[in-house]
Amino acid sequence: MKPMHVLLVDDEKEFVSTLAERLALRGVEADWVTSAAEALRKIEATQYDLAVLDVKMPHVSGIELKRMLHTRCPDMQFIFMTGHGSEQDFHAGSSEAGAAYYLVKPVHIEELMRKMSAALDQGQQRP
Amino acid sequence: MSSMPERSSRQELRYFGAVTASVSHELKNVLAILNEHAGLLQDFTAMAEQGQPLDVERIRRLSATMLAQIGRGGAIVKRMNRFAHSADQERATVELGGLAALVVELFGRSAATRGVTVAVRGAQQALLIRTRPFALETLLGSLLDRLTAALPGIGTLAIELQSGAATAQISVPGLAQHAEAVAVLLASDDVKALLSVLHANADFSDARGALLITLPGDIDA
């Protein structure tokens, strides 16, 4: 696994903090926040390779947040997660991130690790 | 053109679908938390097998969170069960405060997503009415959904309950600045259909700045 710095954003604190801890045990440097506002503050101080975003969050959705983050950090890669699994969410998430970078909760950590690697590889191939 | 009962039935089905989707989303979040916590316990076990010491306090906290999430899941299922059974009888005697509280609880996640808090301010005594429980839940749920969507940033909405002479009244105050949005809402054919099957009236009170819904105490009377 290549070294990477990841930002996790999900309004379920118990979920996102534990996911960060499990990624850390696998050698991934992962910070976590529970809102879009915190995510935007976080990227002011830290450079991230990749953000893993919950699709449904209060106030600002993961899709909207991705657009905001992309404007500020064009090289950042994105993976979406959702608890919904609805067609509507799937289409919104997959068209924003690409179907390969979309995960339905509960998340399998090894699958997330694979997708993070793939997203970074794809990012590095861009001119 | 569909009749009022047909339109109302469609609305009720749509509302049932929306609530089910929201509940399944909430349950998925609970499962996701349990999944990560169980996964972390597995990680710790694997580390212990390789000779690393177990942090007993950390494990105690993880299990406490898992138990809390199981409690949360149980409460979600209980709400869903009450909601599902409210469709058992087309007409029944219900306690209006309990019914309104259930609708508000079911709307909780959508409300949070929109940054809105909804509270029920009940009558002092149990307010019993004979009505169509599922149609009434659909009406209240749809009104909350449409109001909070039309009025982003409204912050807090209250549902107040009062009994009248052979009637019950549900009011949503704090809408003085939003009379136009309420008028659009009440002009909707879907809302009209639900009001019709409930034999209810809805109006906007300029004096109180409130949406008022008046229901018969007994729909069969």
In chain B, what residues touch A12 (CB-CB under 8 Å)?
29, 32-33
pLDDT digits (tens, 9 = 90+) for B115-171: 889 999 876 678 999 999 999 999 999 999 999 988 877 888 999 999 888 999 999
pLDDT interval class at B182 (50, 70, 90): very high
Residue A124 burial class via C-beta count within 10 angstroms: exposed 0-12, middle 13-18, buried 19 and up: exposed
Q: Nearest CB to B29: which of A12, A25, A59?
A: A12
| Nearest chain A residue to B64, by CA | A14
Rg (CA), chain B: 22
**Short-list A77, A79, A104, CA closest to A90:** A104
C-alpha span between B211 and B115 (Å, rounded): 21
Relative to beta strand A29-33, strand B92-95 is: unpaired
Residue A114: which residues within 8 A CB-CB, separation 6 or more? Answer: none
Contact state of A84 with B21 under an 8 Å Cβ cutoff: yes
- What pLDDT does residue A59 have? 82
- What is the rounded average pLDDT for all residues in chain B? 92
Report, as ranges of residue numbers, the positions in chain A whose pLDDT lies below 70. Answer: 1, 84-100, 126-127
In eight-state DSSP terms, residue B34 is H
B21: tokens are 């989707």
pLDDT digits (tens, 9 = 90+) for B109-120: 888 888 889 999
Find tokens 């850390």 and name the residue. A24
Q: Which of B26, B28, B36 to mutate to test the interface with A (most CBs of A within 10 A)?
A: B36
In chain A, what residues touch B39 (CB-CB under 8 Å)?
18, 22, 109
B210: tokens are 């409130």
In eight-state DSSP terms, residue A102 is E
- What pLDDT does residue B200 have? 96
pLDDT digits (tens, 9 = 90+) for B29-84: 999 999 999 999 999 999 999 999 999 999 999 999 999 999 999 999 999 999 99
C-alpha span between B35 and B55 (Å, rounded): 20
Contact state of B33 with A14 under an 8 Å Cβ cutoff: yes
Return residues 25-64 of A near B (CB < 8 Å): 25, 56-59
pLDDT interval class at B221 (50, 70, 90): confident
**Short-list B126, B124, B156, B158, CA closest to B140:** B158
| pTM for the structure as a whole | 0.87
- What pLDDT does residue B54 have? 92
- What pLDDT does residue A126 have? 61
Contact state of A105 with B112 under an 8 Å Cβ cutoff: no
- What pLDDT does residue B17 have? 93
| Nearest chain B residue to A35, by CA | B113
- What is the rounded average pLDDT for all residues in chain A? 87
In chain B, what residues touch A105 (CB-CB under 8 Å)?
28-29, 31-32, 35
- At residue B67, φ and ψ (nearest 5 deg) are -65, -40
- What pLDDT does residue A97 have? 56
| Nearest chain A residue to B153, by CA | A59
- What pLDDT does residue B203 have? 94
Report yes or no: B101 and B83 within 8 Å, Cβ to Cβ: no
Return residues 93-152 of B near A (CB < 8 Å): 112-115
- At residue A44, φ and ψ (nearest 5 deg) are -70, -35
C-alpha span between B105 and B111 (Å, rounded): 9
Rg (CA), chain A: 13
Q: Nearest CB to B32: which of A15, A56, A86?
A: A15
In chain A, what residues touch B31 (CB-CB under 8 Å)?
105-106
| Nearest chain A residue to B112, by CA | A58
Count of residues for chain B?
221
First vs last C-alpha separation in chain B: 29
C-alpha angle B104-B105-B110 in degrees, rounded to nearest 5? 80
In chain A, what residues touch B32 (CB-CB under 8 Å)?
12, 15, 83, 105-107
In eight-state DSSP terms, residue B88 is S
CA atoms within 13 A on the CB side of B168: 28
C-alpha angle A25-A31-A33 in degrees, rounded to nearest 5? 130
**Short-list B98, B176, B113, B177, CA closest to B144:** B113
